[in-house]
A and B are shown apart, each in its own frame.
Chain A
Amino acid sequence: MKLKKMLIVGTALFAGVHAQAADMELEFWTMNLAKFNTYFDQTIVKFNEANPGLKAKWVDMNWDQIQPKLIASIAAGNPPALVNFNVPWVHEFAAQGNILPLDQFLGANKAIYSTNAVKDVQVKGQMYAFPWYNSTQIIAYNKDIFAKAGIKNAPKTFDEFIVMGKQIKAKTGLAAFAPKMSDMIGFFYYAGLPVITDGKAVFNSPKHVAFIQKFADLYKAGVMPKDVFKMAFEQEIAAYNSGKIAMMTTAAQGLKRTETDAKAIYDKTEVAPFPLDAGKLNLGSWMMDFVIPKGTKDPAAAAKLGIFLTSDEQQLAFSKATESTMPSTKKANLDPYFQSGANSADVVDRARSVAAKSMDNARTLTLTPGTLPDETVMTKKLQDEIQNAVEGRKSVKEALDTAAAAWNEKLKK
């Protein structure tokens, strides 16, 4: 009996002491950043030192696992403190109510982020994510193919881009480029064309028809590869690396792949900013951020970690670690590190400085959240119709009219 009492008291004491000593663990998830472990380990040490009682824990996973795992953890009641998201996901999850608004935690810290970065993650006037690293598309082109086609410089406007594409195909027989046709809504914004106005689909106006007609003409002339609608960034990089297309639009990170996989093409590569069109926005800017999921144990502590990870210092350090990403804060972007590679012999350095200069016009181009009642189906309808038009199975006007009618029917409800 005495032994039993001792054991009970001993366990209670032990548990009590242990509970007091245990720090609050803040788990944060990132996607596809496993090779920057030195950076994250150092960051975690810094954060833990500055915040006694809090312990940051880093978990990295493949990008297509983040959403399913997050949903599962929210449903199970134990979501992590922070999750690395991209901009479309922020809007999706904010609309569903699965992530928390952050203005209450940010306070004055909101001012460190660049204006466009803040706009990217705002839903109905509230910020739903901590802006993190950014990147914007540049053109990487094969100097040899350009020389063969008689082109001296990279295109400066979108119309030049198209004319040069046709010239390359005519003089060399190779496809000139493979733009990301899987995101036509982004392309509309890039061209300064609206998609939905006053709750109605407006993408069948004459201007829109003319814009898509440009792509149809390019496809017919063979300037884009025949399976361009199937090509995601993996296939575009592979086509460029094997010399099948003359230009690739990529973030500076993409060039590192060319460096390792196709050194011969890498040596012939030059970079230039992606031409702006009427929308005066970069095509394919892609900002990453951190969100706080609903149901996390201590949102205030999670916010502390979020603010720390996305501060000027940390973002600059991260950019230096990746050598190819940009910060989304005002001060860090002005750091001389980014322009130092402007005249370097290494293409990735030059790419970084080109991208840094283009950051002013960087906005992640997606449709406003909650606009579409059934996003998957409606986006698919628009993409299918545009594919039919570009590949020559329907006239552009007919395709856009059909898609607009389908959208308006759904939007009416």
Chain B
Amino acid sequence: MKNSSSYTGIAYLFLAPALILMGIFTFWPVGYNAYLAFNNYSIADGVATWNNFEHFKYIAHEELFHNALKNSLIYLLIVPVIQIAALLVAKLVNNKLPGMTFFRAAFYIPVITAVSIAGVVWVNVYKYDGILTWFLQMLHLIPQGSDGQVDWLGNPDFALFGVMMFTFWKGIGWFMVLYLAGLQGIPKEVEEAAILDGANVFQRFWKITVPMVKPTILLCTLMSTIAAMKVFQEVAILTKGQADTYTAMFYVYDQAFRNYNFGRAAAAGLVVTFFCMILAAIQFRFLGEKK
């Protein structure tokens, strides 16, 4: 008869491969990164020299890093937009009409498209003589001809919002699937009872659907927030950081792989992590289950 301790042993045995992989590729790099942030690292010698808070003091005075952080924080504006839109879309595809599978697939395809490929296509959409300009000129919202042509990703006033639109298009399917799973957990009787009591669509949505998927909302908002703070790929492909779309992680990447200053990059990375942790704490406070 097996006792509980041997079950524990077997459990750890099953966990071991995943834990080892995570240890090598996740936990150790995170720990070493935190260590590097307080060192000057020389690549040729492989030597790390302790330098207290030198890197943090440097980036505290670095105007470009402040700007980059500001852009990353502005990027957070996409979070409520994408969450509400994803929840609405999930509600819409969560019925048994024929053809729903097509819509679910159609919304999800951008998620599985490689970022680089999607990025190249969107660069052409945003070109000054690209699809967006053509569309707006067709609707006569901007002047015709070459006067009306706008370099959408070249103007610092709205290039960042252009990149945010790309993230919206790419991410909505991902959160739609998660919300769909959450919605499946709401029993139909609750909705039907509300209809019998005379609640309209609006009231049913805000008073029944939203509270009952609160755990999913917390999860999705958290993931979306962290992704927004860490934005790098979209910026690298669409604008290469020009036109005031330089984000905090782009600064980290530049310092690490163009200046080869791993210590400073690690310090900047820690600052971003710190912001993420604060935002996560706020979200757990407001969206979490009150125990």
Residues of A within 8 A of B (CB): 67-68, 71, 74-75, 96-98, 222, 225-227, 229-230, 294-295, 374-377, 380-381, 383-384, 387-388, 391, 393, 406
A230-B153 in contact given A376-B255, A387-B242 (Cβ < 8 Å): yes
User: Are B154 and A376 in contact, CB atoms less than 8 angstroms apart?
Assistant: no
User: Are B44 and A384 in contact, CB atoms less than 8 angstroms apart?
Assistant: no
A75-B46 in contact given A230-B154, A230-B242 (Cβ < 8 Å): yes
Q: Which residues on the A side are within 8 Å of B43 (C-beta)?
A: 71, 74-75, 96, 98
Q: Which residues on the B side are within 8 Å of A222 (C-beta)?
A: 146
- Contacts A67-B257, A74-B43, A97-B42 aside, 20 further interface pairs with beta carbons under 8 A come to A96-B44, A96-B260, A226-B128, A226-B149, A226-B151, A226-B154, A227-B128, A227-B154, A230-B154, A294-B44, A295-B44, A374-B259, A375-B259, A376-B255, A380-B246, A380-B254, A381-B64, A391-B154, A391-B155, A393-B156
8 smallest beta-carbon distances between A and B, as pairs: A226-B128, A226-B151, A98-B44, A376-B258, A376-B254, A376-B259, A227-B151, A377-B64
Q: How far is the CB of A173 from chain B (nearest CB, A)?
A: 8
User: Are B44 and A97 in contact, CB atoms less than 8 angstroms apart?
Assistant: yes
User: Are A229 and B44 in contact, CB atoms less than 8 angstroms apart?
Assistant: no
CB nearest to B157 among chain A residues: A393
CB nearest to B129 among chain A residues: A226
Size category, B interface: 20 to 34
Q: Which residues on the B side are within 8 Å of A227 (C-beta)?
A: 127-128, 151, 153-154
B63 CB–A CB distance under 8 Å:
yes
B62 CB–A CB distance under 8 Å:
yes
Name B241's contact: one of A96, A380, A406 (CB within 8 Å).
Answer: A380
CB nearest to B123 among chain A residues: A230
Q: Which residues on the B side are within 8 Å of A393 (C-beta)?
A: 156
CB nearest to B44 among chain A residues: A98
Q: Which residues on the A side are within 8 Å of B240 (C-beta)?
A: 230
Q: Which residues on the B side are within 8 Å of A391 (C-beta)?
A: 151, 154-155
Q: Which residues on the B side are within 8 Å of A229 (C-beta)?
A: 154, 242
Complex: A111 Cα to B43 Cα, angstroms: 33
Q: Which residues on the A side are within 8 Å of B259 (C-beta)?
A: 374-376
Complex: A225 Cα to B129 Cα, angstroms: 10
Q: Which residues on the B side are within 8 Å of A381 (C-beta)?
A: 64
Name B230-268 residues within 8 Å CB distance of A.
239-244, 246, 254-255, 257-260
Complex: A380 Cα to B64 Cα, angstroms: 9
A225-B128 in contact given A74-B43, A374-B259 (Cβ < 8 Å): yes
CB nearest to B260 among chain A residues: A96
Q: Which residues on the A side are within 8 Å of B258 (C-beta)?
A: 375-376
Q: Which of B43, B46, B149 has the most CB of A within 10 A?
A: B43
Q: Which residues on the B side are within 8 Å of A68 (C-beta)?
A: 257
Complex: A68 Cα to B44 Cα, angstroms: 13
15 A-B residue pairs with Cβ-Cβ distance under 8 Å, sorted by A, are: A68-B257, A74-B43, A75-B43, A96-B260, A98-B44, A226-B128, A227-B153, A227-B154, A230-B153, A294-B44, A374-B259, A376-B258, A377-B62, A380-B241, A387-B242
CB nearest to B65 among chain A residues: A377
Complex: A222 Cα to B129 Cα, angstroms: 13
Q: Which residues on the B side are within 8 Å of A230 (C-beta)?
A: 153-154, 239-240, 242
Q: How far is the CB of A255 from chain B (nearest CB, A)?
A: 25
Name B63's contact: one of A67, A97, A387, A406 (CB within 8 Å).
Answer: A406
Q: Which residues on the A side are within 8 Å of B243 (C-beta)?
A: 387
Q: Which residues on the B side are within 8 Å of A225 (C-beta)?
A: 128
Name B30-79 residues within 8 Å CB distance of A.
42-44, 46, 62-64
Q: Which of B128, B149, B242 has the most CB of A within 10 A?
A: B242
Q: How far is the CB of B129 from chain A (nearest CB, A)?
A: 8
CB nearest to A225 among chain B residues: B128
Q: How far is the CB of A334 from chain B (nearest CB, A)?
A: 39
CB nearest to A381 among chain B residues: B64
Complex: A74 Cα to B146 Cα, angstroms: 52
Complex: A98 Cα to B46 Cα, angstroms: 11
Q: Which residues on the B side are within 8 Å of A376 (C-beta)?
A: 254-255, 258-259
Q: How far is the CB of B79 from chain A (nearest CB, A)?
A: 27
Complex: A377 Cα to B259 Cα, angstroms: 9
Q: Which residues on the B side are within 8 Å of A98 (C-beta)?
A: 43-44
Q: How far is the CB of A91 from chain B (nearest CB, A)?
A: 13
Q: How far is the CB of B137 from chain A (nearest CB, A)?
A: 14
Q: Which of A295, A377, A387, A388 has the most CB of B within 10 A?
A: A377
Complex: A387 Cα to B64 Cα, angstroms: 16
Q: Which residues on the A side are within 8 Å of B146 (C-beta)?
A: 222
Name B203-250 residues within 8 Å CB distance of A.
239-244, 246
User: Are B260 and A71 in contact, CB atoms less than 8 angstroms apart?
Assistant: yes
CB nearest to A92 among chain B residues: B260
Complex: A68 Cα to B43 Cα, angstroms: 11
Complex: A294 Cα to B62 Cα, angstroms: 32
Q: Which residues on the A side are within 8 Å of B46 (C-beta)?
A: 75
User: Are B44 and A74 in contact, CB atoms less than 8 angstroms apart?
Assistant: yes
* Contact pattern, B 116-156, Cβ under 8 Å of A = 1, otherwise 0: 00000000000110000000000000000010011101111
CB nearest to A383 among chain B residues: B242
Q: Which residues on the A side are within 8 Å of B242 (C-beta)?
A: 229-230, 383-384, 387
Q: Which residues on the B side are within 8 Å of A96 (C-beta)?
A: 42-44, 260
